[in-house]
Amino acid sequence: MQEIIKYQQIDSQLRKVEGELYSSANRKSAFQMQQYLKDGQARLIKLEEVAKTLNEQYQKATKLYNEFIEKLDELSKKVEADRGEKTDELEKTISAFNQTADNLENNIAILGQKIVNANKEFESIMNNAKKAKHNLEIYKANYNKEREKLEPEINRLKEEKNKQKPKVDPKLLAKYNAKYEGKIFPVFVPETKGRCGGCRMEIPAGKLSELKAKGTIECENCGRIIYIAE
């Protein structure tokens, strides 16, 4: 039992150092910058599609507007030349055309503003992306310094853990690994005054008897393996 406990102690130290590296503010900030750049790239692709559609709509609207203006000019000339009964009808047609032309002009103005806004957003994303890339490099460099500082200790503990592993009872090690993979840690905890050394739940009398007889039992509450401390 002492060998698996020692193995667990080494593992605990290793988890602590690796956890320190994993929870690094620089690591988290670098990840945020990477995510921002990824999201920004996706937004740029979408903006390019939007801008392309807006430009196509703008070109079509402008072309249609110019065609209407030409027709209006033709109708206006026709009204001037026609002094007969069709004048009123032509003027009504011109009025309708004018309304359509005004609507097209408004649509063109709206499309133009949308294009301007899309270009501004594109420029803003690009500028922010440059800043994000710069910050990312700083966070990466700082994180690498932290990693370089902690890696010797991590490697030392890994080596110590590997040396201890052959000394552990294979059956206990198998139980340890199964619980460890199930996100339970520490796996082995001592019985303390009739309670589980992990969750502090009181151990039933029958289970205490089993513990004394077998040397280990599984906690009915937290799933850890309880042993009798020497």
**Could you give the 3-state DSSP secondary structure of residue 230?**
coil
Mean pLDDT in residue range 202-230: 92
Question: Is residue 158 scored above 80 in pLDDT?
Answer: yes
d(CA 89, CA 86): 5
| Structure letter (DSSP) for residue 122 | H
Mean pLDDT in residue range 208-225: 93
The fold of the 2-166 domain, in CATH, is Helix Hairpins (1.10.287)
The residue count for the chain: 230
Which sequence spans correspond to the domains of the chain?
A: 2-166, 171-227
Q: Which amino acid is residue 185, in one-letter code?
A: F
pLDDT tens-digit readout, 185-211:
999 999 999 999 999 999 999 999 999
Per-residue pLDDT, 93: 67
Contacts for 212 with CB less than 8 Å, ≥ 6 apart: 228
Per-residue pLDDT, 152: 95
pLDDT tens-digit readout, 120-144:
989 999 999 999 999 999 999 999 9
d(CA 97, CA 230): 100
d(CA 164, CA 151): 20
Q: What percent of the chain is modeled with pLDDT above 90?
A: 60
- Helices and strands of the chain, counted as H and E runs: 5, 4
Contacts for 118 with CB less than 8 Å, ≥ 6 apart: 47, 50, 51, 54
Prior bond of 204 cis (ω within 30°): no
d(CA 64, CA 177): 73
How would residue 42 be classed by pLDDT, with cut points 50, 70 and 90?
very high
- Please tell me whether the overall predicted TM-score, pTM, comes out greater than 0.85 for this model: no
CA atoms within 13 A on the CB side of 185: 15
More confident residue, 66 or 159: 159
Cβ atoms 99, 87 nearer than 8 A? no
**Could you give the 3-state DSSP secondary structure of residue 74?**
helix
Question: Is residue 148 scored above 80 in pLDDT?
Answer: yes
More confident residue, 44 or 84: 44
Q: Which amino acid is residue 148, in one-letter code?
A: E
Per DSSP (E only), the strands in the chain are: 188-192, 195-196, 216-218, 225-227
pLDDT tens-digit readout, 49-100:
888 888 888 888 888 878 877 877 777 776 666 655 556 666 666 677 677 7
Mean pLDDT of the chain: 88
